[in-house]
Chain A
Amino acid sequence: MTAPKIKIGFAGTPELAFYHYQELAQDKEFDIQYILTQPVSKSGRGMLKSNYSLQDQSLSVKTFTPSNLKQKKFVDEVMKYEIDLLVVVAYGQILPKWILDYPKFGCLNVHFSLLPLYRGASPIQRCIEKGDYESGVSFMKLNEQMDAGPLYFQSKATIKDLDFYEVEKKLINLSLENLNSVIKKIVFESLKPKEQNHALASTANKITKEEGEVNWKNNYQDIHRKFKAFKNWPQTFFIFQNQKIKIHDMLIDPNKRGHAGTIAHVNKDSIGVFCNNGCILITDLQFPGKKIISAKDFFNSKRDIISVGDSLN
Chain B
Amino acid sequence: MNWEVVIGLEVHCQINTKTKAFCGCSTAFGSEPNTQTCPVCLGMPGQLPVLNTLAVDKTILTGLAIGAQINLESKFDRKNYFYPDLPKGYQITQFTVPLVEHGYIDITTKDRGDRRIGITRIHMEEDAGKSMHEGLDAVSHIDLNRSGIPLMEIVSEPDMRSSDEAIAYLKNLHQVIRFLGVSGADMEKGQFRCDANVSVRHPGDEFGTRTEMKNMNSFRFIKQAIDYEVMRQIEVIEDGGEVVQESRLWDSVKNESRSMRSKEEANDYRYFPEPDLPPLRVSQLEVDNIKAGMPELPHQLRARFETEFGLSAYDADVLTQTRELSDWYEALVAAHPADPKRCANWMANELLGRLKELNKNIEDSPVSPNQFGELMDRMGDNTISGKIAKDVLDAMLESGKSADAIIDEKGLKQVSDTGAIDAMILEIMAANQGQVDAYRGGKDKLFGFFVGQVMKASKGKANPGMVNQRLKELLKG
A binds B: no
